[in-house]
Structure 1
Amino acid sequence: MARHVWSEEELEFLKEIYPHYPNREIAKMLKDKFGIEVTDKQLANARNNNGLPKKVIPNSGIYRKGKEPWNKGKTMSEETKEKIKKTWFKKGHIPENHRPIGSTRIDRDGYKLIKIAEPNKWALYHRHLYEKTHGEKLSKNEVVIFADGDKTNFDIDNLVKVSRANLLFLNNKKLIFEDPELTKTGVNVSKVAEKIRQRERKED
């Protein structure tokens, strides 16, 4: 994950919550409030580089099955409540970075995403577009590829449905080209190869 440059607002928020929550919960709160995703390593670097206070709870960053919560049977002190109460979200609170359904963004791999449901459900835009245009729901074993290899070309004729097995064949045989017609020919070859493999398995 790329290095994150912390804003003053993010650091102030982090200083308030860091001592009182496990890293997993801190990461979720940061995502809800600022729309950022951070790792345990990035949180550790933030603490070392910005003088964040030490945790007042044991922290491994995760909870394991059977592990007793650190705060089981404990009551939060009034002092601690005062320190962190301004970070609590009231019921119905909408984060400042909230994006409505239909919003789009680009992920770290360069793919366009579209928000399809609350509170934070996103889908690959080209897959979503293919489903809406063709009126079908793709299975987990089906993917949509760009026939010309261009992730920004959302022309419906450039979006081709293939199985994951077909995609593996296309990648292994290097059959995805800049020429969309050549790629589509490669898709047909992969489908024929898959049918041959299925028939061979039945004969065995």
Structure 2
Amino acid sequence: MAAPESAPAASARTTPDATRRSEKSRRAIYDAALGLVAEVGYAKTTVEGIAARAGVGKQTIYRWWSSKADVLLEAFLDLSEQAAREAGQAPYVIPDTGDVAADLRAVLRATVDQLRDPRFEAPSRALAAEGVVNEQLGRVFVAKLLEPSLRLYVDRLRAAQRAGQVRADVDPRIALELFVSPLAQRWLQYTGPISHEYTDTLVDYALNGLAPR
């Protein structure tokens, strides 16, 4: 007796989707890595621990990444992209509306929101602290995570120079530190609260200076 014509289609629907399975495993690994580093710190986080928490084999992790640092970097970048999308923003972009002050205020406000996000705060603090004592890790995260963001500030300030909104003799690489360094120091060292009002003030002081107007 011939099989019904619908049988092949039904069979195809039961075939495992390798792409979907891989994405599910990748997401589980991201969550496990960020969760572990937040709970026990970078030094005590291991590939074996990540695999166990994610419910995958250790070989699955090594198929996609060469080390726990690579796993954490990718997980951290993915988390940042998710936070930007949820805020309705394009990740790793500083807008250029023609008003450099407004653009810098917007991106720093978004940074504050991300730094205060519990999903982001614990793992980022753990990795930042480890980067201070672990030179190799520090260099990797500066090169792959921090440096691309800093280049966006440089590009935006150069555009402002071309528009006559920033002095032509200003070094954008030094100028960006007026915005990002105080915020980073206050956040890392708990020297004061971080807020939209605080970063708006940073932009005002940096662009307008301290001398009487």
Normalising to structure 1: TM-score of the pair?
0.29
Question: When you count helix as a share of all residues, which structure comes out higher?
Answer: 2
| Larger RCO (CA under 8 A, 6+ residues apart) | 2
Question: When you count strand as a share of all residues, which structure comes out higher?
Answer: 1
Of structures 1 and 2, the larger Rg is shown by: 1
Normalising to structure 2: TM-score of the pair?
0.28
